Structure 1
């Protein structure tokens, strides 16, 4: 099937991650025929330094791999909240179905084989109960999510997963913003932007004590997806559960975590995609990639953990990697 892919690219870590993403996409999904758009924030008053991908081998590799680097302007976010790039960067997309991926993602299987109903937007369920933080005597999940959905014209009862008990975070529509998709990028941009600005600039009293950095995008995303008629993967969302963050992609965030936690097929797919010399000579310029992809740190990190019995909290994985000298970011 045909759809476009959006990732964010800018100087620093995201430059290298964008190159890795493109390499895995082209190697592991040769049948996919959409456009890979790397949205690049323009310099301006919301960026104290030039955020663009610098000229050099990483930018050249991206274009060699068929990526289109397209600039966009930050109107509402910028350096103080760079996660807002995934909202504002949606304007770079043509009026066609799309999937957004966080740049620290790898593609591990053929995307052309997927069956996605883009009219029912969805997003990543690879999340923990990070937002909101419920105070002992404060409003609960029903009150917080209820008022937020109502502000955007939605109904809380239409978003509930009744397999979880009342006032338990998994009962409520909540996503990681590591991937999401939709049929119309402009409509998705407008819904996502308006929800985020409402939460940030005109919050209901139920959330005035909540921390929004870095959770603003994840607080706004359920509102946008519900507004656009979507929901959880495998439920009201138009994709089967376990496709992204599972069989076809892996959101690693930091390379040590990928080697510690990713299934075998994902590590094998990344290893194959990063082996060709034109890719290797560029990726190894980035220290975490050199140490984990081309030197033994990846294998050492992988040997520390049983993927069938991982610690329930990611922090425990990070702590062990740090103790073993296997943490780079």
Structure 2
């Protein structure tokens, strides 16, 4: 187990700066043993942005008071058009003095992060995912051909990347992860390879992907290839730690209130209660209404956590019908 590491999230003007505040507050509260640095990667104004994406002053000051360091980076490839690409491009600016763990900003720390048994020489990513990609067409290529063509393109061994406890052509056999977290030994090397793989898929995809839509899933299509190239993938991190005991990738507040266990809600409401945090978060409607005006409790009453729909889309649809969808 390695305890000495840095954490990276992306934050910019709008929703992400408020999510970054919650992340920083929960990290400070729930992980007192964490001695690394929390970097909030901030895209800078430029040709890839139609607005100034820098974090506003009130959120910036609060983040810094919570121990975060704002880390500017330049968007050269993705930017506003594909925000998921920020997690790829920011890694080039992360100091390489320690291993890194990247989290999406819409993540809540629930317990001591240094207890997680990271093996930074076997990088991993979130297993909390649905079969959102690829979309298998009748008479078209199957999972085996689609994923196999990607591994062949990058000269990676496909057979060793699979979870053979599942049968062929069942989606869980193939190396598809949620990019809500990932980690590695060397942020610069990881980021460079991630960018190389993502651009190659974007610019020259294998024939088996011709009928596949790659947006907004490009980051999650490229990620397993990057993990495998560094010796990671399935089984590199025991399940139940991240997106489990230690963290919750809540995505958006209505989904959190609808489906997450009580301790997630209790943690969210506790870390957002201090006046200095509340003063900033109340500037963002979803936090103001869901947490401080108690609409989250009304959402919670709509769902039975022991009998949730299997598909997230069904939860989203019900929230929209009831007028509770916000992000």
Task: State the TM-score, normalized to the length of structure 1.
Answer: 0.95
Deviations 1:83-106 (A, max 9, x none): 110000111211121111111111
Contact preservation (8 Å) 1:8, 1:18: yes
* Counterparts of 2:306 and 2:184, CA distance in 1: 33
* Counterparts of 1:22 and 1:230, CA distance in 2: 27
Match of 1:271 among 256, 269, 272: 269
Secondary structure in 2 aligned to 1:309?
Answer: coil
Deviation at 1:325? 2.2
Deviations 1:43-84 (A, max 9, x none): 1111122211122x2111111111111111112211211111
The count of aligned residue pairs is 324
* Counterparts of 1:305 and 1:288, CA distance in 2: 19
* Counterparts of 1:315 and 1:207, CA distance in 2: 24
* Counterparts of 1:2 and 1:256, CA distance in 2: 34
| Number of the residue aligned with 2:208 | 206
Deviation at 1:324? 2.3
Deviation at 1:142? 1.0
Structure 1 position 102 matched with structure 2 position 100: no
Deviation at 1:295? 1.9
* Counterparts of 2:243 and 2:156, CA distance in 1: 27
Match of 2:161 among 146, 159, 162: 159
Secondary structure in 2 aligned to 1:307?
Answer: coil
Match of 1:183 among 182, 185, 198: 185
Structure 1 position 28 matched with structure 2 position 30: yes
Contact preservation (8 Å) 1:8, 1:38: yes
RMSD: 1.2
Deviation at 1:277? 1.5
Deviations 1:239-282 (A, max 9, x none): 22121111111111110111111112211111221111211222
> Could you list the runs of 5+ residues in structure 1 that have no partner in the other structure?
none
Contact preservation (8 Å) 1:28, 1:273: no
* Counterparts of 2:209 and 2:317, CA distance in 1: 31
Q: Which moved more, 1:98-107 or 1:71-80?
A: 71-80
* Counterparts of 1:54 and 1:271, CA distance in 2: 23
Secondary structure in 1 aligned to 2:79?
Answer: coil
> Could you list the runs of 5+ residues in structure 2 that have no partner in the other structure?
none
Contact preservation (8 Å) 2:93, 2:188: no
| Number of the residue aligned with 1:310 | 308
| Number of the residue aligned with 2:246 | 248
Secondary structure in 1 aligned to 2:89?
Answer: helix
* Counterparts of 1:27 and 1:303, CA distance in 2: 28
* Counterparts of 1:85 and 1:48, CA distance in 2: 15
| Number of the residue aligned with 2:76 | 75
| Number of the residue aligned with 1:48 | 50
| Number of the residue aligned with 2:257 | 259
